[in-house]
Amino acid sequence: MKKDHPSSADLSQYGRLAEYNRKRRFGVTPEPKGKLGQGKKTSLEFVVQKHRASRLHYDFRLEHDGVMLSWAVPKGPSIDPSHKRFAMQTEDHPIEYNQFEGVIPEGEYGGGTVMIWDRGTWDPEVADVDKALAKGDLKFRLHGKKLSGSWVLVRMRPRQWLLIKHRDDAAATEDITAAKSRSVASRRSLAGIARKAGASARQLAQAEEADKAAPS
């Protein structure tokens, strides 16, 4: 069957998650194997995962076309509209990944502790998400526990974007990553998650250090 969108990267059933699957050994990591989401949904999910890998960063993910579009944000999202947060686009993730909180073993891709820092639903503020992504200017609304209101992702260079809060009632100068540092899923800190998942002593120490680091 012919595809009417030649720009689509879906060359096989798991095409959009091929890179995700290629980077991981599912017999070793507790992360979910990449499968594409099925069918029409009434709402679109978003998640922000706080991840102490080789460095602390926040993985910002928006559901689109059966996968989670993903960006690694080193400083994390800011609800202050004067902050432009660098966001490096990474490989699409499976929707099931939104449930993942735990520890990726040492030596594996992204090894370290992962926290579900925020989650909820999102709505595009554009008529066509694919066109907005191609243009490099995606406006959207978040409905999370910590993040809400209107936002924009603007592409500077290939894969390099800025995540910016628009001015609205949900904007503030509060440092949200410091003020609300715990998991929305378990209320645990990174160290609490690491301890429960049986992290190595080194990973536990890194999680404790990341909990103490007050960004900005």
Rule CB under 5 A: which residues touch Mn ion?
51, 59
**DSSP one-letter string for 73-138:** ETT---S-TT-EEEEEEEEEE-GGGGG--EEEPTTSTT-EEEEEEEEEEEEESSS-HHHHHHHTEE
Identity of the residue, 71 or 122, whose beta carbon is nearer to Mn ion in the bound complex: 71
CB of 90 to Mn ion, least distance (A): 7
Backbone angles phi, psi at 15, to 5 degrees: -50, -45
CB of 88 to Mn ion, least distance (A): 10
Identity of the residue, 51 or 64, whose beta carbon is nearer to Mn ion in the bound complex: 51
Closest residue to Mn ion, based on beta-carbon distance: 51
CB of 131 to Mn ion, least distance (A): 28
CB of 119 to Mn ion, least distance (A): 15
Identity of the residue, 59 or 92, whose beta carbon is nearer to Mn ion in the bound complex: 59
Stated length of the chain: 216
Distance (Å, rounded) from C-alpha 77 to C-alpha 177?
7
Identity of the residue, 20 or 140, whose beta carbon is nearer to Mn ion in the bound complex: 20
CB of 177 to Mn ion, least distance (A): 15
Taken in order 127, 131, 133, 135, is the CA torsion positive or negative? Answer: negative
First to last CA, the chain: 52
Q: Which residues contact 170 (CB under 8 A, 6 or more apart)?
A: 79, 147, 148, 149, 150
CB distance 59 to 70 below 8 Å: yes
CB of 110 to Mn ion, least distance (A): 5
- State how far Cα 77 lies from the chain centre: 10
Residues facing residue 21 across a β-bridge: none
Identity of the residue, 59 or 63, whose beta carbon is nearer to Mn ion in the bound complex: 59
Identity of the residue, 90 or 150, whose beta carbon is nearer to Mn ion in the bound complex: 90
